[in-house]
Structures are given as C-alpha cells and as structure tokens.
Chains A and B, each alone.
Chain A
Amino acid sequence: MTVRSRHILKDFESALELLRANVLMMASLTDRSLQNAMTCLLDRQSRNGALTIADEEEVDALEKTVDGQGINILLRFQPVAFDLRQVISAMKLSGNLERIADQAVKIAERSQSLNRRPELEEVSALGPIFLEAITLFRDSIRAYGDNDVALARSILPRDKELDEMNRQITRDLTSCMSSNPSRITDYVHLLFIARYMERIGDHAKNIGEDAVYAAEAKDIRHPTNVLVS
C-alpha cells in the first residue's frame, strides 16, 4: 500500500483517520460477536450468547456514528478521488457490519434455545461452515484494512463454496428431520443457523467488493455470467 503524504488540512486528515478507526472498531466488535456466537453454539455456552446480544447495541450505535461522520466529511470537505471512495466505502461497510452482527445475534438466540434442550450431535456439523464464514469475514476486513485487492477478489469464489456447503447441510438436516421427527424444532433451528452463516458470507463478499472499489475504483459487483444464455 502506497504511503500517502498528509493532507494540508489537519482537520480533514484527522476526520478521515477517525472514520477509519471507527469502522475497524466496529469490525472488531462484530468479530467478537461472531466468536461468542460460535462458542455459544458449538460449546453450548449460553453466557457467550448473551455477550453477543449485548454487543449489538454498541454496533448499532457505531453504525449511526460512522454514517454521521461520513456525511459530515462529505459535507465539509467535498473529498474527491481516493478520499471520496474511502468515505463511501466506509459508510457501506458499516451497513454490512451491522447486518453481520445482526446475524450473529440471531445465531446466538437460536443457540441459546438449543442449549436449553439436550445435546444434539448434528450441531458439530455446523462447525466447519461457521469457521469458513468467520474466516471469510476476517479476510474481507483485512482486505479493506490493507487495501489488498487480491485477497478481496478471492472472497467471491469462496463465498460460492460457502453457499454450496450450506446447500449440503440443508439436505443433510432435511433428511435428519424425517428420520428423527421428535427433534424437528431443533433441526429447524439448525437450518436457520446455517442460513444465517450463509448470509454472513454474502455480507463478507459485499465488504470485499467495497474494498476493491475503495482501492481501485472498480465496481466488481454482479459480474455478467457469459454462460447464461
């Protein structure tokens, strides 16, 4: 990443830094929420789930702060080029982060319901997909933070793999439901949880796209599929 010299207007420089710091703060909060949700589900620790649920308030507040600061910078300094893209992508990121945190909360809530019931062995099957989702998320944030375009572009194919994993799990869980009807409610929880993880992957992909836009001014969303006839 090229090191840029400081802007002549110190207020502008510090406003941009503050915005970036807030976004990264929000990302680390979201990361923690996901981590706690995973512990809640896989290790049956409902207390961690409670932490996830508590953190949501802070993430929501940060979303409003980041958006407000972004608008303020646009209003005050009329940034162009690189600076403009930084501000816009920061604001978009905050939206995505908020939704990821939201998914984490939903995972936590359903995990807590599961934890009140006897242990279910299929829960562990969700481990790999959860891990993959979190990894995608962390990579997308790193790509944004480091302006790592290659890493950002790698997220799209991996998200597709995540989607495939989700489809597989859905099929497995559906067959479990028919063979073990007494625990249908629990399997439904698991289905939803898998769905949430797939959503997290999608949001991570969005973050990756925003990272590429911020770094290169290229919009890589919705690539046209030449095979579609």
Chain B
Amino acid sequence: MINSSSTSKPAMEDSTSAPESRKPVSNAPEAANPAPAFRSRNLSIFYSNKPAIKDVTLDVPSRKVTAIIGPSGCGKSTFLRALNRMHELVPHTRVEGEVLFEGQNLYAPNLDPTLVRRRIGMVFQKSNPFPTMSIADNVLVGLRLNGVRNRKVLNERLEKSLRQAALWDEVKHDLGKPGISLSGGQQQRLCIARAIAVEPEVLLMDEPASALDPIATMKVEELIRELCAKYTIVIVTHNMQQASRVSDYTAFFFLGNLVEFDGTDRLFSNPKERQTEDYITGRFG
C-alpha cells in the first residue's frame, strides 16, 4: 500500500540500491544497478598549471539527475565541463586521469571533441538562442549543420524537441519568430530543446535556472524531472534547495576536491562528512 511512484526519489526507508560513490560497481543485477553514464578516475584539471579539480573519482549514474554543489571556485563548473571537453576552450589547460563515457575514455588522444559533444549536450546559465535565427532554426541548427537535410526528419525532430522541452504549445504558431523574442524562461527552454534536438544521451546543465524568476525556475525544474527518464542529467547549482528538489544524487565539491557523493535525501538529511554538513547548514561559505 505504500508505493512511491517510479519517478520519485527513493523515500527514506525505501531506497533499494546504494548510490555509487567512490567504490566500483557492486555485484547487484543489471536492472537494479545499471552501469553508470560517466566514470571519472583520478581526474585532475589544471588551468595554467594551477589545479582546478584534484583527483576526482566519481561515478555519475545513468538516467538520473546528479547535482553538483559547492561554494564559488570549488571546481564544480570545471568538472561539469570536463564531461564534454568544453573546458578545453580555455587556453593552457592540462588534464590528468580519465573520464570513461560508456566504457570509452573521452580523453583518448585521437578522439575528436566534436564527436563527444554530439552525444553529450550542454545548457548554459545565460540562455543564448542564436540571435540571427528563428525559433525553428534555433532548434534545428545542430541537426542542419551536421548534415541532416531531410525536411520530414527535421520537422519531426522540431516538434519532438519542443514538446519534450514543454515549449511546443506556447510557440507552435510562432516558429518563424526570432528566438530572442521569447521571455527568459522560454528562451532557456528553447536552448534545452536545441540541445536535445541532436538526441544526445546526456544533458549537462550549468546553473540553468539561476537567471530566471521563481516560476520559470520551477518550470525548468519540472522539465528536468521529466527529461531524466530519457537522459542522464548532471546539473551544477549554487542553490541547495534546488539540488534537493530536483536531483537524485548530489556531489559536494570544495576547493577542487570531491568531498562527498551520495543519494540526495541522505546527503541532505544526514551527511557523512562534517564539511558537507557545515556547508549545507550554512555554517561556512
């Protein structure tokens, strides 16, 4: 009689699988414990020889929402960007360790980062629909510039992505209008539609709602919960309440180190590390 719905997070006495923290995958059967989407092993990233993250070993679970929290400068954005090699846009970066995505090392010497990014999408803090393009063009730009020409496929993908981003009903009659004519919250959902149009397996989100008003924020959070049925989602947020509302697992970073990684309920109700508790209760910045 006490049934939690399948998309809700594990209730306190209801959790089955232990969240994967620093230990390797257990011997639990596949259904209960699917392979993680990302496995970082001793990952360190240096900007001009200064370490931004140090020796991070973490398994990001598949088809769940993982939140990364921590004070400013703790390396959470760096870690997020390391998952699709976007941190390489900054000059003079150096990487040590590896990140395995579905068994393959993302940092293998001959692997083209462009291919990586087609499977691992990203949404940014400030929504950035391309200003020269209409709503439809914005959504389809990733497909078009990667060679997809078939009109039928494009139209289907357009509707599908906008529906998944909970934006279709609001814009279906205005698809030719410029992308930037939408409100802030709609623009962000447009960017999400744009990212999922290329059908990645993962969505990385860097503080996606921090520039939005509370209602728009909640709509984005609800969208994230809906999307995690199909995509693995990793979200960086400085808003701890958002992390507790939206995520299944939470990682706490501090000064470049991974301090704790656990199921969100457990981390917020009874964290294992004193540092974590001090941070989430607001006892230090």
Chain B, 256-285, CB within 8 A of any chain A CB: 264-265, 268-269
Interface flags for A62-106 (1: CB within 8 Å of B; 0: not) read 101100110110011110000000000000000000000000000
Residues in A with CB closer than 8 Å to B221 are: 8-9
Task: For the complex of A and B, list the 10 residue pairs with the smallest distance between their C-beta atoms, beginning with the closest.
Answer: A8-B218, A68-B12, A76-B244, A9-B222, A78-B241, A11-B8, A8-B222, A65-B2, A75-B268, A75-B269
Count A-side interface residues using an 8 Å CB cutoff: 21
Chain B, 212-255, CB within 8 A of any chain A CB: 215, 218-219, 221-222, 225, 241, 244-245
Tell me whether B169 is interfacial, beta carbon within 8 Å.
Answer: no
Decide: B225 and A75 in contact? CB cutoff 8 A.
Answer: no
Interface flags for A120-144 (1: CB within 8 Å of B; 0: not) read 0000000000000000000000000
Q: Which residues of A contact B (CB under 8 A)?
A: 8-12, 14-15, 18, 22, 25, 62, 64-65, 68-69, 71-72, 75-78
**Is chain B's interface secondary structure helix, strand, loop, or mixed overall?**
helix
Q: Which A-chain residue is minimally distant from B240 (CB atoms)?
A: A78
Q: Which B-chain residue is minimally distant from A69 (CB atoms)?
A: B11
Given A8-B219, A9-B225, the answer on whether A75 and B4 have CB atoms closer than 8 Å is no
Question: Which of A68, A71, A76 sits near B245, CB closer than 8 Å?
Answer: A76
Chain B, 186-235, CB within 8 A of any chain A CB: 215, 218-219, 221-222, 225
Bin the interface of chain B by size: 20 to 34
Q: Which B-chain residue is minimally distant from A18 (CB atoms)?
A: B4
Decide: B225 and A64 in contact? CB cutoff 8 A.
Answer: no
Residues in B with CB closer than 8 Å to A10 are: 222, 225
Decide: A72 and B11 in contact? CB cutoff 8 A.
Answer: yes
